[in-house]
């Protein structure tokens, strides 16, 4: 049993480490963009569709509470890193686009099973310092996207694209860590309490205004985020850089984003969630335009700054979600996760279409303009509007 007040640092770190290992595998796709396009003869739109396929299982996120009432949800969390590791490490041997799509779907299911319950686990083990716990948790994910591109590019150089299946054991280790430490943590009470509280549809009605604001922020920033993460390696290679430089550029974005993720939650505790989101919404697109116009020798310094402000809003939004006073918190978190993944997937797919029809530079510029639309959306958020259901 965990104290409701104590910050259990060991378990927070272990869960964040498992998150780190899990998300290393989900970061494999973007760095091998050019390899997959050449091997399977697909365009940017079909490559973007892979992201949509991977995120389709997130449609089921709101129903995780119902599922948790029938199964021991912690075991889904425990096995998820292994399933994700196996599916993502087999993309190099995918003979067809359909086979690759199936691998994306499987990894999406396991990722959903991992990401919806684990923030609730953080709430259990972080006590009163939930914001700090979420920062640790999110840093694990952002560091994964820093290290993941380097790992997969290094594996390709060492074993060839087909040989990256040798990376599977790391995911098995993450499952072992989760089993040893969390096999006795019972989350069913948190999920089944929803059944006894106000009906789901009523909670959805109460949550909808806040959800629409969050969805709008995610969507308006999504094109910029897709350009600077999912499509960045391909952009770098198409502009004359090596695969190593392309992979490193993505790692630079996520490494600086890790710093932003670590600090943003604490910053929002002091200056408020709304003010923090507003600052990030103003600075991020400005930095994107600076990246587009900058000379080659300034690319990495600008990417460092860009990554910091690009990825920092996520812990702030998660803190907003998790501080809602409702017995339907897992359901509400599932709704957020679903909307976040689907809107991000839509933005990724549209960005891929733009790349195919308008080219890299114009697509990046359009994405930078759209990102400014997040500013008026943030201004609509009223920080005192917290659910009390």
pLDDT tens per residue across span 185-233: 665 555 555 455 456 677 677 788 888 999 999 999 999 999 998 888 8
* pLDDT of 389: 42
The phi and psi torsions of 295 (rounded to 5 degrees) equal -75, 165
Could you give the CA distance from residue 174 to residue 378 in angstroms, rounded to a whole number?
37
Give the pLDDT band (50/70/90) at residue 66: low
Residues 37-49, mean pLDDT to the nearest whole number: 90
Higher pLDDT, 121 or 350: 350
How many residues does the structure list for the chain? 389
Q: φ, ψ for residue 325 (rounded to 5)?
A: -90, 85
Q: Which of 246, 248, 383 is nearest to 324 (CA)?
A: 383
Res 373: pLDDT: 95
pLDDT above 80 for 329: no
Domains annotated on the chain, with CATH: 9-380 (1.20.1250.20)
Round to whole Å and give the CA distance between 236 and 232: 6
State the average pLDDT over residues 299-322. Answer: 87
Q: Does residue 385 surpass a pLDDT of 50?
A: no
Decide which of 75 and 21 is more confident: 21
Q: What pLDDT is stored for residue 204 in this prediction?
A: 72
> Tell me, what's the pLDDT at 69?
46
Does the predicted model carry a pTM greater than 0.85? no
Q: Which of 61, 373, 101, 32 is nearest to 222 (CA)?
A: 373
Confidence of residue 4 (pLDDT cuts 50, 70, 90): low
């Amino acid at each position: 049993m965990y104290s409701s007040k104590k910050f259990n640092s060991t378990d927070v770190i272990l869960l964040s480490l498992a998150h780190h290992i899990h998300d290393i595998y989900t970061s494999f796709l973007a760095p091998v963009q050019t390899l997959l396009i050449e091997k399977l003869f697909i365009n940017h739109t079909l490559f973007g569709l892979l992201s949509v396929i991977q995120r389709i299982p997130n449609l089921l996120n709101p129903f995780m509470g119902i599922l948790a009432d029938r199964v021991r949800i912690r075991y889904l969390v425990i096995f998820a890193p292994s399933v994700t590791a196996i599916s993502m490490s087999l993309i190099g041997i995918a003979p067809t686009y359909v086979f690759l799509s199936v691998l994306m779907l499987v990894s999406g299911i396991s990722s959903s099973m991992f990401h919806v319950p684990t923030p609730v686990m953080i709430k259990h083990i972080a006590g009163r310092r939930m914001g700090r716990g979420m920062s640790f948790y999110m840093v694990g994910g952002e560091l994964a996207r820093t290290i993941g591109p380097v790992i997969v590019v290094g594996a390709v150089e060492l074993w060839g694209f087909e040989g990256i299946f040798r990376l599977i054991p790391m995911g098995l280790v993450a499952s072992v860590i989760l089993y040893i430490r969390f096999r006795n943590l019972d989350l069913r009470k948190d999920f089944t309490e929803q059944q006894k509280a106000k009906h789901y549809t009523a909670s959805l009605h109460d949550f909808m205004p806040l959800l629409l604001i969050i969805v709008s922020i995610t969507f308006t920033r999504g094109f910029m985020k897709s350009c600077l993460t999912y499509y960045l390696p391909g952009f770098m290679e198409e502009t004359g850089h090596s695969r190593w430089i392309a992979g490193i550029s993505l790692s630079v974005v996520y490494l600086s984003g890790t710093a932003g993720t670590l600090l943003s939650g604490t910053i929002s505790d002091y200056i408020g969630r709304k003010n923090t989101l507003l600052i990030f919404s103003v600075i991020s697109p400005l930095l994107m335009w600076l990246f587009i116009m900058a000379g080659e020798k300034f690319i990495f310094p600008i990417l460092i700054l860009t990554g910091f402000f690009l990825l920092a809003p996520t812990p702030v939004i998660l803190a907003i979600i998790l501080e809602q006073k409702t017995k339907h918190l897992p359901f509400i978190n599932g709704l957020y996760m679903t909307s976040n993944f689907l809107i991000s997937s839509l933005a990724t797919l549209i960005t891929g279409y733009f790349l195919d029809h308008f080219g890299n530079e114009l697509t990046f510029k359009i994405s930078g303009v759209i990102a400014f639309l997040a500013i008026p959306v943030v201004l609509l958020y009223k920080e005192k509007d917290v659910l009390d259901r």
